[in-house]
Amino acid sequence: DAKTTQPTSMDCAEGRAANLPCNHSTISGNEYVYWYRQIHSQGPQYIIHGLKNNETNEMASLIITEDRKSSTLILPHATLRDTAVYYCIVRSRTFSSGSARQLTFGSGTQLTVLP
Amino acid sequence: DTEVTQTPKHLVMGMTNKKSLKCEQHMGHRAMYWYKQKAKKPPELMFVYSYEKLSINESVPSRFSPECPNSSLLNLHLHALQPEDSALYLCASSQDLTSGNTIYFGEGSWLTVV
């Protein structure tokens, strides 16, 4: 499975859009991009995922570049409750017993929303 | 309902104790996972079950013993643990192991080994 690179930390003003980048330059055509977040001391929470096209749901938007080598998670109006570690993960479309890393977490980005 | 329930939330055990962590989901998911998370680190995959059969063991020491008694339940039996095994243990589930199926996590069980 492809590896991801994310900035260690970011700040965002409350009410502004938070744009979290992720580099996955070795992604293959059969790998999805998933985003999760983990608020302190809680389990990871699913946010959104996509393959090629941009995606939007009630929580966020996911913008994937045309070459699929990077993506950006957008929280349109960040609130204090969005302060969390955000993980970008690539996950294969197919599973094989040799593909042990069904969902391998990188180091993630600590997003701090400031009042 | 996308809920994965883990019990207990907190567990303190001695190095000679035997204890178990439990996980339950009622979403009809047939894949279930155990992850371990140390402080300030990302979660690390331990085990994956698919249709109640162990599919992946990420070279986890035998003092951790998983069990999947039915499609809704996943246990992690703990025996002769070390203090360095203290961590947050996360259970997760997904519809199955095929692509595009979102993995949902529980809130975790905090384990302290003394």
Nearest to A4 by CA among A37, A38, A34, A48: A34
pLDDT at A94: 63
- Residues β-bridged to residue B93: B32, B104
Contact A43 B103 (CB under 8 A): no
Mutate to test the interface with B, among A46, A102, A104, A105 (most CBs of B within 10 A): A102
Burial, B9: exposed, middle or buried (Cβ in 10 Å; 0-12, 13-18, 19+)? exposed
Which chain A residue has the Cα nearest residue B102?
A46
Rounded-to-integer distance, Cα A69 and Cα B100, Å: 19
- For residue B54, give the chain A residue with the closest CA: A97
Residue A44 distance to chain B (closest CA, Å): 6
**Which of B1, B30, B45, B96 to mutate to probe the A interface, most A CBs <10 Å?**
B45
For residues A37 and B2, what is the distance between their CA atoms, to the nearest angstrom?
A: 16
**B87 near B36, Cβ under 8 Å?**
yes
From residue B15, give the alpha-carbon distance in Å to each of A60, A96, B10, B36.
44, 36, 16, 18
Which of A27, A28, A98, A21 lies closest to A62 in space, CA to CA? Answer: A21
Asked if residue A98 has pLDDT above 50, the reply is no
Give the N- to C-terminal CA distance of chain A in Å, as an integer: 38
List C-alpha distances in Å: B42 to A43, A44, A46, A67, B23: 11, 10, 15, 27, 20
| Structure-token match 């970011």, residue found | A10
pLDDT of residue A106: 84
Rounded percentage of chain A residues whose pLDDT exceeds 90 = 69
Q: Is the pLDDT of residue A97 over 80?
A: no
How far A10 CA lies from chain B's nearest CA (Å)?
16
| pLDDT single digits (tens) A33-55 | 999 999 988 999 999 999 998 99
Averaged pLDDT for residues B2-28: 94
Q: Between A93, A97, A101, which is nearest B55 by CB?
A: A97
Angstrom distance (rounded) from CA A3 to CA A26: 7
**CA-to-CA distance for B6 and A105, rounded, in angstroms?**
21
Q: Which residue of A has its CA nearest to B41?
A: A107
- How many Å from the N-terminal Cα to the C-terminal Cα in chain B? 36
**What pLDDT shows up at residue B101?**
80
pLDDT at B64 over 60: yes
Residue B100 to chain A, least CA–CA distance (Å):
7
pLDDT on residue A27 = 87
- pLDDT at A96 (0 to 100): 58
Identify the closest residue of chain A to B4 by CA–CA distance.
A43
- In sequence order, what E strands does chain B have? 4-7, 10-13, 18-25, 31-37, 44-50, 53-57, 64-70, 73-79, 87-94, 104-105, 109-113
CA–CA gap between residue A77 and residue A113 (Å, rounded): 10
Q: State the nearest Cα–Cα gap between A17 and chain B, in angstroms.
A: 25
Q: Would you tell me how many other CB atoms lie within 10 Å of the CB of residue A16?
A: 13
> Which candidate in A48, A51, A88, A105 is best for mutational testing of the B interface (most B CBs within 10 A)?
A105
